[in-house]
Amino acid sequence: MSKLGISIKIDVTKIDKSRIFEGKKGKYLDLTTFIDTDNVDQYENNGFISQETTKDERDKGIQTPILGNCKVFYNSAAEATHHKGVKQVSEVVNPNDSFDNDILPF
């Protein structure tokens, strides 16, 4: 089994706030990403992130704006296959690091 480490960066000012919904443990936003581990763009990104659309919206051709990009920074399969553009890193992001919620516009 291969494992991927993916870094995600979004522009929170582009979020359609009407798509934020209340859940049992907080407010949520459904996002979609497409990742191509074999190709990178000029900024070394492997994909993009957008807000999820419903089946009805997709059928009508409605697209949500691209909120940001994603970058594969670790790919355990790359050790054996050496995928183009995928970097191996030893530093792991600590999920317990604090996040400044004051920067969010909602």
| Residue-range definition of the domain harbouring residue 18 | 4-90
| 100 in a structural domain | no
Q: What is the pLDDT of residues 11-64, one digit of tens each?
A: 999 999 999 999 999 999 999 999 998 999 999 999 999 999 999 999 999 999
Please check whether residue 106 lies inside any domain of the structure.
no
Token pair listed for 95: 């999920």
Residue type, 29: L
Q: Domain for residue 101, yes or no? A: no
pLDDT at 105: 56
Q: Report if residue 104 sits inside a domain.
A: no
Q: What angle do CA 15, 69, 67 make, to 5 degrees?
A: 15
98 lies in some domain: no
Would you place residue 103 in the very low, low, confident or very high pLDDT band (cuts 50, 70, 90)? low
Put simply, whether the predicted model's pTM sits higher than 0.75 gets the answer no
In whole angstroms, give the CA distance from residue 71 to residue 91.
Answer: 15
Q: Tell me if 20 is assigned to some domain.
A: yes
Is 65 part of any domain? yes
The DSSP string of 16-62 is -GGG-EEETTEEE--EEEEE-TT---TTS--EEEEE---HHHHHTT-
Number of folded domains in the chain?
1
31 part of a folded domain: yes
